[in-house]
Amino acid sequence: MQVESLAIPEVKLIKPRVFGDERGFFLETFSSERYAEHGIDLPFVQDNLSYSRKGILRGLHLQNPHAQGKLVSCVKGAVFDVAADIRAGSPTFGKWVGATLTAEGHEQLWVPPGFAHGFLVLSEDALFSYKCTDGYHPSCEMSVVWNDPTLAIDWPLEGEPTLSEKDAAAPKLGDIPEASLPKVSS
């Protein structure tokens, strides 16, 4: 597999090795030993799958405490996936990175704990898979609005995205008290 650290080095774009022929293909989607060699060595405790239509934007989501690291991929269609560093004290605080993930390319993105995460569906529809390092804790949910001017994420939009009420009402990063933000882990 190829592993590329993005502009925020903790976020990694992973391209698994694909073995294919006229019958189809095979690839390894996770190996604890191989991923640990690249710094992804937290235990995964929950897998999630979501379905969305074109133009739907989900995010930016995280939990604090009970931060979730997420190994994400698009198993049908294509999405633009974003990780935003909102960890208090981080040298990359307020920065984001994004990557297009496709079912055909089999790319994965490692979103470390403490990062806000979201994605925009680019294809007619998409199935999106998450491997999470902590379970879902509703009392720890946090969101940052998708179009926060501080983050200035360059979403590849065609018009306005479709959002949940909760995502549309999410606060700007600057409106979240610093004490409520995740911290850089030592």
CATH number of the domain that residue 161 is part of: 2.60.120.10
The answer to whether residue 93 is domain-embedded is yes
pLDDT digits (tens, 9 = 90+) for 66-119: 999 999 999 999 999 999 999 999 999 999 999 999 999 999 999 999 999 999
The answer to whether residue 122 is domain-embedded is yes
Active-site residue, 51 included: no
The answer to whether residue 44 is domain-embedded is yes
CB atoms within 10 A of CB 155: 14
**What global pTM score does this model have?**
0.94
Q: How many domains does the chain have?
A: 1
Helix (H/G/I), strand (E/B), else coil: 13? strand
Token pair listed for 46 = 């929950």
**Whether residue 185 has pLDDT greater than 80:** no
- Out of 35, 51, 61, 137, pick the active-site residue: 61
The answer to whether residue 144 is domain-embedded is yes
**Whether residue 186 has pLDDT greater than 90:** no
The answer to whether residue 16 is domain-embedded is yes
Geometric angle at alpha carbon 49, from 43 and 54, rounded to 5°: 135
pLDDT digits (tens, 9 = 90+) for 118-160: 999 999 999 999 999 999 999 999 999 999 999 999 999 989 9
Domain that holds residue 104: 2-180
Active-site residue, 61 included: yes
> Distance between CA 167 and CA 120 in Å, rounded?
13
- Out of 51, 106, 130, 136, pick the active-site residue: 130
pLDDT, averaged across the chain: 96
The answer to whether residue 9 is domain-embedded is yes
The answer to whether residue 186 is domain-embedded is no
